[in-house]
Structure 1
Amino acid sequence: MKSTILGVAMALVLTTPLTAADEKPNRKKGQRNNAAAQVMKQLEKAELTEEQQTKLKELAKKTGAEMQALRKEAGITPELMKKRAEAQKELKESSKKPAELFAEVNKKAGLSEQQATALKKANEMRADLLKKAVAMLSEDQKSKLPKQLLRRGMDKKDGKNRKAKKKAE
């Protein structure tokens, strides 16, 4: 069970920098690190209501500010993230387990233990934001999302969304 959770978390951690590295040059400055824009893009197919968009933007603004403060405090610069993305591309085909791959990428990029921990926490925060966003969707909206995205937004222990389960009780 823990290995499944760890595997999914590591997949999120490892794919985020790749997405950032493939950024299109015509994107607005800062959009790559904007948690709201990333989650809104992932939930496009769900056709969010105005109220949901407003709530999501509020949540994302708070999470984004916390993530930015965390990265700044740890000394994670855009240049360092670029090095990490390059290291990740080099090690992409590795047969290592996700946790080992994460550690190897961070080592190769020159991240300190504090920076690696901060990066892991920032990715956990992003995953939590996605879970909260999926929790506010109706069943009809959830059905429009890719299954992979729904799995990321669900509780890993029992495969069900905890918040939805609590509301039903």
Structure 2
Amino acid sequence: MRITEVECHPVRVPGASPPFVWGDGLLGSPSTGEAAVLRIRTDDGAEGVAMPPRRGSGVILADLLNRVLREELVGHDPLQREWLWHRMWELDRTEELPLSLLGLVDTALWDLAGRLADPPGRYGRLVAAVLVLLAYDPSRGAFKDPSCPIHPIYRELAHPTSRRLDPEA
């Protein structure tokens, strides 16, 4: 199995409703903005996705994909995650990758591996681990905050019939 495609798809991230404030003198919740989803596909049809946590990161991700990452990833075994992560680390020396994007490829590769280990119809599709850490409460089997601005996107990504990320849709 080899990586054949590495794509970046822009998505709109809704702001929190109602907005919140972190504390006196600090900015509150970000407003609606643009982000992107990284999608990695293989020659046998497996795919993994990841989304950077910062609004505005889509432009940076698209630039990095076109200049460096796509060429670095295509043709390699996606299950060699540690080796590929070290390649991203080495690229950081010359590209000075934004911290929020440094592990994005790793997250998409783990998502791909999880989907291979847990095919649709068995227990459902796996969603990137960052979702569980940030927005999902496994004890309740639900999202911690129904107004969480990320959950609609990840819920749609996790759905096997998702068309939101398909530019042809």
Which bracket does the TM-score occupy, shorter chain normalised?
0.3 to 0.5
Higher helix share: 1
TM-score by length of 2: 0.33
Higher strand share: 2
